[in-house]
Amino acid sequence: MMNVEEYLDSLKQLKWKIYLFGEMVDNPVDHPIIRPSINSVAKSYELAADPQYEDLMTAQSNLTGNKINRFTHLHQSTNDLVKKVKMLRLMGQKTAACFQRCVGFDAFNAVDSVTFEMDRELGTTYHQRFQNYLREVQGKDLVVDGAMTDPKGDRSKRPSQQADPDLFLRIVERRTDGIVVRGAKAHQTGAVASHEILAMPTIALGEEDRDYAVCFALPSDTEGIFYIYGRQSCDTRKLEGGDIDVGNCRYGGQEALVIFEDVFVPEERIFMCGEHQYAGALVERFAGYHRQSYGGCKVGVGDVLIGAAAQVAEYNGAERASHIRDKIIEMVHLNETLYSCGIACSCQGAATASGTYLIDLLLANVCKQNVTRFPYEIARLAEDIAGGLMVTMPSEKDFRHPKLGPYIDKYLKGVENVPTEYRMRMMRLIENITLGTAAVGYRTESMHGAGSPQAQRIMISRQANLDYKKKLARIIASIEKE
């Protein structure tokens, strides 16, 4: 497995084409806006090397028998599924941000089981190709961007009906040695911190959309791939030189629009090529795994936010107020409910035909449906406890100013024995998680990541087994015999 320095060095070897604020980024690894997000990914390497966290952060590969980073593992039991959720909570606690490695992890497990079933039913060789690829990923301890979301264009139309056919990633040419693809993937978490891209379809597809039924993996600096880095609230604070106003100066998340401009994919890296009837299963399983993930990662960030709210209450001198205590209890209740759902869908998982374990899809969707709501309430309560100063206090430059600083220190003082700077830092951390750059990976991603709220409601409806529930009621009401 790689260590942190080896990971950072490996990224510096990549020949990415990354654009930020309209300009090509020469050194993305050390760019002040991008580097905190890379630090979040690097944390997965740091913790994997720490004996204290070895049980959660590493696993034994079922493909090679070697010790590997759990982020590259295929789940072999419900215990693996539970450890995944616990690992993600730990990562959230350590970074207070999106650590970006989940999407590739969830993609591995979805692609593994679906390609196995494709080969069994169609006589293809996708599963062997995929496992060969995963052996390479595990052996090199690579970060992989699981790329599912297409721009989608007009949501009322299928991919093949779009005025611009490139609004869903598609095959534009089939060759004897591979394919050529064109299109884009949007909202790509961790794309500019990844060695590889594993692309998948974004919706269930019909025969008319078979050119969009494509799954493949490529190095992230492949010719024809380029990145347009996404904006985040307050992101330019990272360019100002200080660290108080950033809130979380060490860690962050990232999203990018990834463009595929007639990109060649060699045959050995193709895991679906026109088999449209399997696109829906791949989407459903990936989404299920990713919805399970949110019962861990969002909970870990929530732990930090709850701690920050409790700490700022002490700095404000309000920690003994009954309404403050009640609000913190409510935050804990909501956060642990999310965690309970993540654990529950893991414990109720079962093996697929390939041997890889899949979570309980109904409970995973219930988990994510709660995630679309509870972090917003947790954030609201944190903002309530912090007070309005969180978004109105002067800048760090003013605080460091020889004339203005003493006034800020005097008039923004809370509890006498707590430095004003500590109070400012804690409020900026809350601002960062609820409104700033980390809000992308906490609030908004809680709503739209792994599918919008309606996507989970559709899956809950499909998985609810209402006919069975109606039968139970008929039997209890003596309308039908058992």
> Given pLDDT bands bounded at 50, 70 and 90, which one contains residue 376?
very high
pLDDT exceeds 90 at position 123: yes
Query: Is 102 a residue of the active site?
Result: yes
pLDDT exceeds 90 at position 450: no
Q: Determine the pLDDT at residue 441.
A: 83
Query: Is 445 a residue of the active site?
Result: yes
pLDDT exceeds 90 at position 438: no
CA 254/CA 231 separation, integer angstroms: 9
Q: List, in sequence order, every residue forming a beta bridge with 69; answer none if it has no partner.
A: 58
Q: Determine the pLDDT at residue 261.
A: 98
pLDDT exceeds 90 at position 11: yes
Which of 31, 58, 102, 251 is labelled catalytic?
102
Please list the alpha-helical segments (H only) found in 96-229: 102-122, 126-140
Which of 58, 95, 149, 189 is labelled catalytic?
189
Query: Is 297 a residue of the active site?
Result: yes
Render pLDDT for 338-366 as a digit per residue (tens, 0 to 9).
999 999 999 999 999 999 999 999 999 99
* 3-class DSSP state of 174: strand
Which of 75, 98, 195, 357 is labelled catalytic?
98
Which of 275, 290, 434, 442 is labelled catalytic?
290
pLDDT exceeds 90 at position 166: yes
Residue 366's nearest CA partner among 447, 288, 286 is 288
In sequence order, what DSSP letters do the residues of 187-209 get, joined into one string?
S-TTGGG-SEEEE--SS---GGG
Render pLDDT for 16-51 as a digit per residue (tens, 0 to 9).
999 999 999 999 999 999 999 999 999 999 999 999
Render pLDDT for 451-468 as a digit per residue (tens, 0 to 9).
889 989 999 999 999 999
Angle at 309 between CA 303 and CA 313, to 5 degrees: 145
Helix or strand holding residue 463 (H, E): helix 453-463
Render pLDDT for 294-309 as a digit per residue (tens, 0 to 9).
999 999 999 999 999 9
Render pLDDT for 73-94 as a digit per residue (tens, 0 to 9).
999 999 999 999 999 999 999 9
Encoding tokens for residue 398?
């003013």
CA 104/CA 78 separation, integer angstroms: 19
Query: Is 290 a residue of the active site?
Result: yes
CA 174/CA 215 separation, integer angstroms: 14
Q: Are 38 and 9 in contact (CB under 8 A)?
A: no
**Residue 36: Cβ within 10 Å count:** 23
In sequence order, what DSSP letters do the residues of 357-410 get, joined into one string?
EE--HHHHHHHHHHHTTHHHHHHHHHHHHH-GGGGTSPPHHHHHSTTHHHHHHH
DSSP state of 168: S
CA 438/CA 37 separation, integer angstroms: 10
Domains and CATH numbers, the chain: 4-279 (2.40.110.10), 282-472 (1.20.140.10)
Taking each helix axis from N to C terminus, what angle separates 404-411 and 420-434, rounded to the nearest 10 degrees?
A: 80
CA 23/CA 383 separation, integer angstroms: 36
Which of 45, 212, 289, 294 is labelled catalytic?
294
> Given pLDDT bands bounded at 50, 70 and 90, which one contains residue 167?
very high
Q: Determine the pLDDT at residue 209.
A: 98
Which of 126, 127, 251, 255 is labelled catalytic?
255
pLDDT exceeds 90 at position 140: yes
pLDDT exceeds 90 at position 445: no
CA 236/CA 75 separation, integer angstroms: 39
Residue 441's nearest CA partner among 298, 345, 338 is 298
Q: Is 301 left (phi over 0), alpha (psi -120 to 50) or beta?
A: alpha
Query: Is 223 a residue of the active site?
Result: no
Query: Is 98 a residue of the active site?
Result: yes
Can you tell me the mean pLDDT for 436-451? 85
Q: What mean pLDDT is reported for the chain?
A: 97
